[in-house]
Structure 1
């Protein structure tokens, strides 16, 4: 039996087979979890459906725009019906900022770009957690994805770094609020991975080379390594860990220069 056998979970943020969310979902499935998936808009429906259906023809796959509360309510009603009113795991791997906000300087960020980035990338964790918590009747684990740009300046990451900082702070507050219900909330701060979202950041290929040159392990993190970390955080082995940001970046975060 896998370490997540008997657990149920819902995954937000799969876009394609290179998504970090998909790597973690695969690891959760291999560990025994029964999962549901959401997709953002018709453009991603086919991609997500093709991947999720490899987990079984009866896998729940449903649309969710995380900026719409009615979508969130519907999704968790469907998840509750699917899993008999019980949920153990949630993965939040959702982030977005307008492309023009991920180029040039942070000071040029528009009010609308700032609002959108924070609504999609940070507030959505609060909204999804609020909807998930009533189903986590026996406790649970919520895992969110962050990046080092939340605490240090990364060229062109701009407003997304500020939104990720809000996400990490939200993780701590949610962990405090939900601890008595045995619901744990943590972040994985991943090194750069060649995903659809990451390719929208100007200079991303240079970022990969920089990490490889300067991280103590002299390489970039692999998606399956993030899957393994996500599985640990979802498991009883992490039962005493909540409100934390775990760096999975081949050691880059510890370097001063």
Structure 2
């Protein structure tokens, strides 16, 4: 059943033959990179997106996948670029089985203990890119997703509590989680599922940019019943891909915690 090295052949994975659009790949440490890698190993075709100055970095990283993937320019604040991606996918595939939203950004003024001082323009940027973009990207792709009865999955960080240093990004994530529920309600009649993965902290480029992130590391390892390795994103990638597969065909509007059980423990 498996090919050389123990990897599933293209025809026998849980997403064999599916077509996925994956955002948020910057380096091979990105959570989205490992979802893309696993998707290919499980038989899917993937196209990545990149934006702005990070586009070339995404293109270089795409060559590290088991099968080099095409990268489309897509700044989620520019509707014309989203429309261009939709047009490409419509011509390329005619449908879309899955969309991974792994995009988040907040100016430094919105992080690191500056909650009371962050200006609205910077907060608006954080909310636009980190929350509204889930709807801004999903809505134009809906006809392609409906054609395949597809799945949208987004990556979040538990927004039910206030975290040290996370500040307005935490607010943006709360909006992101609410947006996912409203998308699930709106798109369900078309057979489109919308779910989120609430991941524990992983040492990615984005995480390193948050002042005080290291405080999460020790706390998570001590409190998570299953333990937690901040350098290992395999569990997150596997759970994300499961939601993008047909195995969760009756699940939408859900937030699945992949955090070692940390969220369930009070102290």
| TM-score between the two structures when normalised by the length of structure 1 | 0.95
Write the distance in 2 (CA, Å) between the matches of 1:45 and 1:138.
Answer: 28
Counterparts of 1:33 and 1:182, CA distance in 2: 20
Whether the 8 Å contact between 1:139 and 1:181 is mirrored in structure 2 is yes
The gaps in structure 1 that reach 5 residues or longer are none
| CA distance, structure 2, for counterparts of residue 227 and residue 81 of structure 1 | 28
After superposition, residues 223-238 of structure 1 pair within 5 angstroms as 223-238=233-248
C-alpha separation between the residues in 2 aligned to 1:18 and 1:176? 33
Q: Does the alignment pair 1:23 with 2:31?
A: no
> Which string of whole-angstrom CA distances, capped at 9 and with x for unpartnered residues, describes residues 98-117 of structure 1?
01211124222210121001
- Answer yes or no: is the 8 Å Cα contact 1:31–1:231 preserved in 2: no
Structure-2 separation of matches of 1:242 and 1:47? 33
State the 1:55 CA deviation.
Answer: 4.6
1:100 partner SS:
helix
Shift of 1:75: 1.1
CA offsets 1:8-43 (integer angstroms, 9 cap, x no match): 0101111111001111111111111101011121x3
Structure 1 residues 237-256: aligned runs within 5 Å: 237-256=247-266
> Which of the numbers 149, 158, 172 marks the counterpart of 2:181?
172
Larger RCO: 1 or 2 (CA < 8 Å, sep 6+) = 1
Equivalent of 1:52, from 48, 62, 80? 62
Structure 2 unaligned blocks of 5 or more: 1-11
In 2, Cα distance between the equivalents of 1:167 and 1:64? 19
Name the CA distance, whole Å, in 2 between partners of 1:170 and 1:104. 25
8 Å contact from structure 1 (residues 23, 224) kept in 2: yes
Match of residue 220 from structure 1: 229
Q: Take 1:66 and 1:187, find their aligned partners in 2: how far apart are those partners? A: 18
Query: Residue by residue, what CA displacement relative to the aligned partner does 1:181-209 show, whole Å, maximum 9, x if unpaired?
Result: 11000000000000111111111112111
Q: State the alpha-carbon separation in 2 of the partners of residues 56 and 134 from structure 1.
A: 27
Between 1:10-19 and 1:43-52, the stretch displaced more is 43-52
1:45, distance to aligned residue in structure 2 (A): 2.6
What is the alpha-carbon root mean square deviation over aligned residues? Answer: 1.3
Q: Residues 18 and 45 of structure 2 are in contact (CA less than 8 Å); yes or no, is this contact kept in structure 1?
A: yes
Change (3 A) 1:72 1:86: same
**1:58-98 C-alpha deviation (Å, 9 max, x unpaired):** x3211111001011101111122221x11110000000000
CA separation of 1:74 and 1:250: change in aligned 2, threshold 3 A: same
1:36 is aligned to 47
Query: Which residue in the other structure is 1:140 paired with?
Result: 150
Work out the number of aligned pairs and report it.
253
Is the contact made by 1:4 and 1:31 (CA closer than 8 Å) also made in structure 2? yes
SS in structure 2 of the partner of residue 106 of structure 1: coil
